[in-house]
Amino acid sequence: MAAVAGGSRAAPSADSAAVAAVAKEAEYQKGVQKLVDLLSKLNPAAKEFVPSSAAVSSPSRKALSADAPVFDYNSIGGWNGGGKESGADAYQQRRRRNGYLSQGRRRVNERARHADREDSIRRTVYVSDIDHTVTEERLADIFANCGQVVDCRICGDPHSVLRFAFIEFADEEGARTALNLGGTMLGFYPVRVLPSKTAILPVNPKFLPRTEDEKEMVIRTVYCTNIDKKVTQLDVKNFFEELCGEVSRLRLLGDNVHSTRIAFVEVSPSKTPVKPRLNRVASN
């Protein structure tokens, strides 16, 4: 009776252990299923799932991202059925061809400008130690004996005793002949004449006269410098009208940097010629 009673007590404990094991297994399966459901909602191509072997090994090498789109070369790029480029590749090819053509034109233009500049330098001489009383017109007239003068520019401080100039000739022969004028007395000092190392900057054609009327206006216009800032536009007009005649246009310019101002003064043309004076014969 005791043995039977003991066996009956052991059976319930075994059944409870089996039930606990089944419940534990069910809980485990439930957890696994929850994890599977959670992972199935994630993007398998996300950055955190890219293996380390696909990462960029060095800054100089670039690799495609794991989530990069896949292109269909048969439809938008690569080669079509006819064996000709189309889509993005054709567009890139056109851009490259246009870029090569533009670069080629720029190189040709740069070479042409460089050749013109070198030719201008060979036709230009540098003149130094020029007296402040020498004007560009006089300097050009003197060097015109060497050849046709294309341009003449006197540079330097107008208040300085000595200045320098660049004189450009129509050909190299004129520039070589001009070198013989070194030591010529112009004013109070002998000038030095050397081959130039630079070309004269051309005048902006927008500022040059284009019509006959504008050329006439240039002839009637004078350029004035070293005007005191206290002098007004009316003062300049009265000064020129008293000595030269009626002023039709006047422009007085200046800034906060320079201590003096400049002016352009156009004098109106006369309607009658200047008659020569007749010597009066004294009557007896």
Question: What is the DSSP secondary structure assignment for residue 45, as one 8-state letter?
Answer: T
User: For residue 8, how many other CB atoms are within 10 A of its CB?
Assistant: 9
Residue length of the chain: 284
pTM for the model stands at: 0.41
44 by DSSP, 3-state: which? coil
Instruction: State the pLDDT at residue 28.
Output: 83
pLDDT, one tens digit for every residue, the chain (284 residues): 444 444 455 555 667 777 888 888 888 888 878 877 777 766 665 555 555 555 554 444 455 555 555 555 444 444 444 445 556 666 667 766 666 666 767 777 778 777 888 888 999 999 999 888 888 888 999 999 999 998 888 887 766 778 899 999 999 999 999 999 999 898 888 999 999 988 887 666 676 777 888 888 888 888 888 899 999 999 999 999 888 888 888 999 888 877 888 898 998 776 655 555 555 544 44
Question: What is the DSSP secondary structure assignment for residue 275, as one 8-state letter?
Answer: P
Instruction: State the pLDDT at residue 22.
Output: 83
Instruction: State the pLDDT at residue 1.
Output: 45
Type of residue found at 67: D
39-43-46-49 Cα dihedral, nearest 10 degrees: 30
Give the pair of three-digit tokens for residue 128: 């130094």
Q: How far is it, in rounded angstroms, from Cα 219 to Cα 230?
A: 28
Instruction: State the pLDDT at residue 85.
Output: 52
Instruction: Determine whether 193 is exposed, middle or buried from the number of CB atoms within 10 Å of its CB (0-12, 13-18, 19+).
Output: buried
Instruction: State the pLDDT at residue 115.
Output: 80
Type of residue found at 120: S
Instruction: Determine whether 89 is exposed, middle or buried from the number of CB atoms within 10 Å of its CB (0-12, 13-18, 19+).
Output: middle
Give the pair of three-digit tokens for residue 109: 């233009």
CB of 174 closer than 8 Å to CB of 148: yes
Q: Which domains can be identified in the chain, with CATH numbers?
A: 119-195 (3.30.70.330), 205-267 (3.30.70.330)
As a whole number of Å, the CA-based R_g of the chain is 47
Instruction: State the pLDDT at residue 238.
Output: 92
CB of 269 closer than 8 Å to CB of 260: no
